[in-house]
């Protein structure tokens, strides 16, 4: 069938209606500005340590034709080794906080968010950085995890695929936090292609060499991917399995809001493993157990994350889904 035939025209119209642009398919500008954020939470020390290291030894993250800028995003929280001073920096990159002009009276992290947005954004604009890798640690047994905020960013899906292949046989999960109601306005969200790097388990205020090493190689593979992309390598269509966040689950609590049960031992450290209907979730001091009563198997993660007690979150339920990306290549080689 020729593309000029009436049937061909019909087909093109159908393809156009489906939102597929055949001519520009997968053609993306070169990556020119990349930021590596550490200390978004001041007590997650792998990212703080790596960013401080790279501020002195920039050669390790340098890539031809790319500005790679390491940056401590919450210096006061880093100094005090706390998650935040006034409010969680990784929740305040919404348009209202970013435009609030109560200068002088602003909570520290809101002022800091505005400063970061003017240096690396503005969020949603053409001047925003191309990629931001934001480095976090978790007290949960998640291993290496990449956090995606969009299921349709082909560049990021391809980058996740590349990092996963490079890490093997070490696992590298991908968590998709796109769900309305669960999604939050992250520091990295000001970039065109935001990626969270979450590695655990590591206690708050502690650095473990194994966790540090995993975080370091994830960043290096991400930079390698961007370099190959800029050099004109075409990445063929791919698919990745991701864990899509469904909902947060809180601990059982008493009338005062205090915990009345803790994570059950058979769920502790079992991030990414199936939780089936009837499986234990929590156990109280009298030995009574709260069971999972849903109908579907789910995959819990962020199980017993220390920072989430105040957020009323014992773990998040996820489901496994497949994301696909079309082939991508750089349009400015």
Q: Which residues are annotated as a binding site for substrate?
A: 90-91, 184-188
C-alpha separations of 280 from 249, 297, 306 in Å: 13, 13, 20
Residue list, annotated binding site for N-acetyl-L-aspartate: 83, 198, 308
Q: How far is the CB of 317 from ligand KKD (least distance, A)?
A: 16
- Between CA 329 and CA 333 the distance in angstroms is 9
- Between CA 237 and CA 326 the distance in angstroms is 4
Structure tokens at 8: 């061909």
What residues between 44 and 63 interact with Zn ion by CB under 5 A? 44
Let me know: does 247 contact 317? Beta carbons within 8 Å. Answer: yes
By beta-carbon proximity to ligand KKD, the closer residue of 109 and 305 is: 305
Residue list, annotated binding site for Zn(2+): 41, 44, 136
By beta-carbon proximity to ligand KKD, the closer residue of 198 and 279 is: 198
Q: Which residue is nearest to Zn ion (CB)?
A: 136
Residue list, annotated binding site: 41, 44, 83, 90-91, 136, 184-188, 198, 308
Structure tokens at 21: 């642009």
C-alpha separations of 178 from 152, 159, 188, 256, 324 in Å: 10, 18, 14, 32, 15
**Binds 196, which of Zn ion, ligand KKD, none (CB < 5 to 8 A, cut-off by type)?**
ligand KKD
Which segment (42-50, 231-239, 280-288, 289-297) binds Zn ion by CB under 5 A? 42-50
- Between CA 143 and CA 321 the distance in angstroms is 19
CB proximity list for 5: less than 8 A, separation 6 or greater: none
Let me know: does 300 contact 275? Beta carbons within 8 Å. Answer: yes
**Binds 138, which of Zn ion, ligand KKD, none (CB < 5 to 8 A, cut-off by type)?**
ligand KKD
Q: Which residues bind ligand KKD (CB under 6 A)?
A: 41, 90, 136, 138, 147, 186, 196, 198, 305, 307
Interstrand relation of 238-249 and 33-38 (parallel, antiparallel or unpaired): unpaired
Q: How far is the CB of 74 from Zn ion (least distance, A)?
A: 10
- 3-state SS, residue 8: helix
Structure tokens at 226: 């961007």
Query: Which residue from 204, 186, 193, 173 is spatially nearest to 48, judged by alpha carbons?
Result: 204
What residues between 117 and 176 interact with Zn ion by CB under 5 A? 136
Q: How far is the CB of 137 from ligand KKD (least distance, A)?
A: 7
Would you count residue 193 as binding Zn ion (CB under 5 A)?
A: no
Burial 4-22 (b: 16+ CB within 10 A, else e): eeeeeeeeeeeeeeeeeee
Q: How far is the CB of 46 from ligand KKD (least distance, A)?
A: 12
**Binds 204, which of ligand KKD, Zn ion, none (CB < 5 to 8 A, cut-off by type)?**
none
Q: Which residue has the tokens 């590349």?
A: 162
By beta-carbon proximity to ligand KKD, the closer residue of 136 and 216 is: 136
Beta bridge partners of residue 164, listed in sequence order: none
By beta-carbon proximity to ligand KKD, the closer residue of 153 and 198 is: 198
Query: In the 8-state DSSP scheme, what is residue 188?
Result: G
Other CB atoms closer than 10 Å to residue 302's CB: what's the count?
24
Q: How far is the CB of 305 from ligand KKD (least distance, A)?
A: 5
**Binds 186, which of Zn ion, ligand KKD, none (CB < 5 to 8 A, cut-off by type)?**
ligand KKD
Q: Which residue is nearest to ligand KKD (CB)?
A: 90
Active site residues: 198
By beta-carbon proximity to ligand KKD, the closer residue of 230 and 244 is: 244
Would you count residue 41 as binding Zn ion (CB under 5 A)?
A: yes
Q: How far is the CB of 330 from ligand KKD (least distance, A)?
A: 28
Q: Which residues bind Zn ion (CB under 5 A)?
A: 41, 44, 136
């Amino acid at each position: 069938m020729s593309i000029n035939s009436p049937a061909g025209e019909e087909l093109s119209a159908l393809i156009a209606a489906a939102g597929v642009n055949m001519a520009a398919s997968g053609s993306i500008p070169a990556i020119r500005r990349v930021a590596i954020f550490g200390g978004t939470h001041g007590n997650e020390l792998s990212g703080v340590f790596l960013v401080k290291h790279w501020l002195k030894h920039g050669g390790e993250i340098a890539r031809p034709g790319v500005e790679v800028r390491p940056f401590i995003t919450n210096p006061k929280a880093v100094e005090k080794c706390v998650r935040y001073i006034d409010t969680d920096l990784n929740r305040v990159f919404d348009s209202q906080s970013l435009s609030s002009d109560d200068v002088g009276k602003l909570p520290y992290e809101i002022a800091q968010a505005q400063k970061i947005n003017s240096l690396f954004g503005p969020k949603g604009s053409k001047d925003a950085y191309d990629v931001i890798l934001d480095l976090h640690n978790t007290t949960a047994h998640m291993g290496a995890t990449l956090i995606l905020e969009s299921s349709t960013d082909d560049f990021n899906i391809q980058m996740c695929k590349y990092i996963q292949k490079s890490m093997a046989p070490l696992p590298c999960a991908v968590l998709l936090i796109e769900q309305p109601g669960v999604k939050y306005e992250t520091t990295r969200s000001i970039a065109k292609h935001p990626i969270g790097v979450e590695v655990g388990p590591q206690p708050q205020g502690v650095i473990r060499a194994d966790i540090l090493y995993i975080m370091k190689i994830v960043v290096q593979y991400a930079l390698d991917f961007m370099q190959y992309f800029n050099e004109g390598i075409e990445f063929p269509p791919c698919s990745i399995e991701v864990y899509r966040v469904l909902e947060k689950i809180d601990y059982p609590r008493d009338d005062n809001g205090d915990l009345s049960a803790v994570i059950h031992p058979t769920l502790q450290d079992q991030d990414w493993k199936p939780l089936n209907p009837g499986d234990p979730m929590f156990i109280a001091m009298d030995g009574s157990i709260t069971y999972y009563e849903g109908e579907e198997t789910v995959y819990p993660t962020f199980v017993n994350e220390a920072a989430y007690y105040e957020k009323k979150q014992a773990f998040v339920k996820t489901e496994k889904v497949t994301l696909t990306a079309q082939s991508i290549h750089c349009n400015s080689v």
